[in-house]
Each structure stands twice: as C-alpha cells, then as structure tokens.
Amino acid sequence: MRESSGTGLILGIESSCDETAAAVVRSGATALSNVVASQMSLHANYGGVVPELASREHLRNIVPVVREAMRRAGVTFAELDAVAVTEGPGLAGALLVGITYAKALSFGLDKPLISVNHLEGHIHAVLMEARERSEAPMELPLLALVVSGGHTHLYLARHDLAKQQGSNSTWTYRNVGRTVDDAAGEAYDKVAKLLGLGYPGGPWIDALAPHGNPRAVPFTFGEIKHRAPREGVTNKKAPLNTEGPHFDFSFSGIKTAVLRYVETHHLRASIAVRRDALAADPSITPKNAAHLCDQQTLDLIASFQYAVVGNLQRQTFAAAEALGAHSIVVSGGVAANTELRRRFQAEADRRGLPIAFPSLALSTDNAAMIAAAAWPKFVAHDFASEDLGATPQLRLGQK
Ligand code: KG4
Ligand code: ZN
C-alpha cells in the first residue's frame, strides 16, 4: 500500500439513505469540506424515501459530490490517507453505490479503505465538533442517544486506549436501549403526513409546535414489555443486549393515538384543505405555515412533540443515571429539534451532566461524521477488506 502523506486526511462517503454525501476531514477534528446532495424534494412527492429512486439518485450524484468535496477541501486524491464509507445500516441498494465507489477509489489510489457504522458516525459528528472547538474531550463513559428517521438507540460508549494498537476499533459501544417499533423521526414524519404537512415532518412539527398548547392532549407512554423469544427464533423486539438494565422506546402507540384524535375530532376535512394549500404554494415553509392550522391542530402538534421529547428525555436520563454515564451526546436528525435541545440541556444542567449536540448541519446525514468516525480506526489500522459489502441491518457494538 502506498505511503500516506501523514496529514490525517480522510475522505468520507455516505449514501445509506436519501443523501449522497462526501467530506474531507483532517485527523477526525477538522472538516475541510462537507458536501451533501439531498434527495428530499424528490422523495417528498411520495411522503417517504423510495429505495429504487434513492439508488438511482446516488448513482447520478456520487461522482460530482466527491469531486466537489475534494475541490472545496483543496486536496488532491494523492494527498488522502484513507477512504471511509458507510457499511450500514441503511438501504441495500443505496449503501452499495457508496461502497462500490469507495472500494474502486481506494483500490485505484492504493489507500486503505475504512468501513463505518452509520450510527457510530452520528455519535462522532458531535465529538468531531467538540474537537474542532478545542473543547476538553467528553467525559467517559458517555451515553449517546442516536435519534433519527430510521433509528432511536441508546449506546454507552467508551474509548479503550489499550486497544489503540490492536486490530479492533478503539471505541466500544454497548446498546442499552432502542425502539421496539417506529423510530422517533418516523413518528414525526408519519404524524406530519397524517396532518397534511410537508416531508420530512420533523422541521414542520418543530416550527408549528410553539403556536400550540403542549398540555392540551395528554398523550401517555406505557411500559414496554418484551416477549420471550421461542427457541431458535430471534425476537426482533427483544433488547439487543440482555445484560443489565435496558431503556427502550416505542413510538407507534402515539402515532395511533394522533390518528384516533383526528378521527374522533373530525379533522379530516381541514387536513385535506391544508394538504391542497401546501401543494399549490411551494413558498409555504415550516416557518410560515401556522396560518394553515386551526388552534386545535396546533395544540395537537404541540402535545405530540411535548410527549415524544418527554419520553426521549426520561429514558435517556434514567439510563445515564443507572449506567453511571459521565456525559451525554444526542445526535441524528431529530437532534435538530428545538424543544428537544432546550429540554435536554435544561435537564443536563439540573443534574450537572455535560451534554453536547451536533450543529444543525451535522445533525442530519452527512459524510464528515463518517470521516470523523474513521479516524480512530485509521490510527488503530482497523481497515476493511477488499470484499466489503453492504450490511443493511448492521448493528453497533454487537459484532
Ligand atoms: O439522521 P437523518 O437525516 O436520517 C436518518 O438517518 O434517518 O434523520 C432524518 C429524520 C427525519 O425523520 C426528520 O423528520 C427528522 O430527522 N428531523 C427532525 C427535525 N429535523 C429533521 N425531527 C424533529 N425536529 C426537527 N427539527
Ligand atoms: Zn442518519
């Protein structure tokens, strides 16, 4: 393998869902470029990500996006030390576009290839930005809530210095909670769609909730029960890690409760009017859409968000306390939520726990987080093999 330039330059590539992204990051700390080609407007017509369309768009975007990331970073391919790519979890066809391209690039350049778990990437987005601001490292073990359209997971993360020179990654993750059904972002998207709002739903509900009364509709969350798996059958709903306490989530119930509210309060007609108004006027954005909602709908939106954020907050802080976490990281698309940030920050302050969120740009999917998560693997010489494939159900900390 060709000598690296030794400047710690890693090109990250991300294509797990509906964003084609590439970024160059130096030593896991400084993003020299971060380019994201979003397919959001394409999928908005369908109210969700269409896998076949996503793969086709990734194919169309991958070369210009990588070139643009290199151009903005002012770096040549020869100067790179490694190429990092998302291995999973995500859509198989979408992941394959990034992986195939990264493999070809690493082979052609004779540079190491590093595979990264998308969820690990979300956590490292926060750690990278803390390094960028030259802040003291987050105290370990840290509890990471990764909350997005596809995931709601809690991980207890440690940095194991003893493994630094070994073949394994230096970071270790223990899954201590996850959703047993819908992800929190999925609930945002489905409720927004049900109420005739735009896609993705998170930013719409985020912007409209302050206009409503969060206590108008008292949504509740029940206790989550796990069925014991039958012998020889893997129970998808069972906790991933059976050791120790577990802090799971469930968001399908609240989605059904919102649907029931819509039915019993006869909101269907006003929803249809709103959907048509939005379709007819592309200048309406989440920030100027309040006039399209009556007070009852605004109260429903505010109550939904209050309940979801409250549930995320209770589980996360209960886990932090029970597991002795010394700091908290919240990442993923839903971490962009205004109310979530405010309430998590207030609770962390009350408990004297350091907490960190990514910048809004790095909350949603991007490739800087992939290049950042690849850095400790690069240092540990934890490289991917030439036959790396896509792993749509890849788990973190379960290898
Ligand atoms: O991390 P991400 O870009 O993609 C996945 O890996 O899923 O997250 C996208 C999710 C969507 O469900 C979107 O509705 C949600 O993040 N989201 C938000 C906000 N911005 C994006 N949810 C709540 N409030 C927001 N401001
Ligand atoms: Zn994501």
Q: What is the CATH number of the domain that holds 249?
A: 3.30.420.40
Q: Ligand 2 center to residue 231 CA distance, Å? A: 33
Contacts of 119 (CB under 8 A, 6+ apart): 89, 146, 151, 153, 155, 396
Residue 151 lies in a domain: no
d(CA 1, CA 110): 5
> Which residue segment(s) compose the domain that 310 sits in?
184-353
Residue 186 CA: which ligand 1 atom is closest? 12
Q: Ligand 2 center to residue 331 CA distance, Å? A: 9
Residue 163 lies in a domain: no
Q: Residue with the nearest Cα to atom 19 of ligand 1? A: 202
Both tokens of 94, joined, read 């979408």
Contact (Cβ atoms closer than 8 angstroms) between residue 127 and residue 372: yes
Buried b / exposed e over 259-272, threshold 16 CB at 10 Å, is eebbeeeebeebbe
Q: Residue with the nearest Cα to atom 16 of ligand 1? A: 333
Q: Residue with the nearest Cα to atom 13 of ligand 1? A: 202
Residues 283 and 256 in one domain: yes
Contact (Cβ atoms closer than 8 angstroms) between residue 310 and residue 342: no
Residue 142 lies in a domain: no
Residues 325 and 374 in one domain: no
pLDDT reported for residue 225: 63
d(CA 129, CA 133): 6
Residue 294 lies in a domain: yes
Residues 319 and 383 in one domain: no
pLDDT reported for residue 268: 97
Residues 44 and 98 in one domain: yes
Residues 197 and 329 in one domain: yes
Residue 380 lies in a domain: yes
| Amino acid symbol at 261 | Y
Query: Could you tell me the pTM of the whole model?
Result: 0.91
The residues pairing with 54 across neighbouring beta strands, listed in sequence order, are none
Residue 200 CA: which ligand 1 atom is closest? 14
Ligand 1 pocket test, pick from 16, 95, 145, 188 with the greatest ligand atom count within 8 Å of Cβ, gives: 188
Into how many domains does the chain fold?
2
Residue 149 lies in a domain: no
Give which of 62, 107, 84 is closest to 8, Cα–Cα: 84
- pLDDT tens string, the chain, 399 residues long: the values are 554 556 899 999 999 998 999 999 999 999 999 999 987 777 777 777 778 788 888 999 999 999 999 999 999 999 999 999 999 999 999 999 999 999 999 999 999 999 999 999 999 999 999 888 888 888 999 999 999 999 999 999 998 765 555 445 589 999 999 999 999 999 999 999 999 999 899 999 999 999 999 999 999 987 776 654 444 444 444 444 456 678 999 999 999 999 999 999 999 999 999 999 999 999 999 999 999 999 999 999 999 999 999 999 999 999 999 999 999 999 999 999 999 999 999 999 999 999 999 999 999 999 999 999 999 999 999 999 989 999 999 999 853
Residues 123 and 244 in one domain: no
Residues 96 and 220 in one domain: no
Both tokens of 175, joined, read 């899954």
d(CA 63, CA 48): 25
Residues 313 and 209 in one domain: yes
In this structure, the residues whose C-beta lies within 6 A of any atom of ligand 1 are 17, 148-150, 185, 188-189, 200-203, 206, 332-334, 336-337, 364-365
- Rounded to the nearest 10 degrees, the angle between the axes of helix 252-264 and helix 268-280 is 100
Q: Ligand 1 center to residue 386 CA distance, Å? A: 33
Residues 212 and 289 in one domain: yes
Residue 72 lies in a domain: yes
Q: What is the number of the ligand closest to the CA of 190?
A: 1
d(CA 322, CA 320): 6
Residue 145 lies in a domain: no
pLDDT reported for residue 137: 83
Residues 71 and 209 in one domain: no
Residues 367 and 346 in one domain: no
pLDDT reported for residue 30: 95
pLDDT reported for residue 48: 72
Q: Ligand 2 center to residue 46 CA distance, Å? A: 20
The residues pairing with 114 across neighbouring beta strands, listed in sequence order, are 84
Residues 274 and 382 in one domain: no
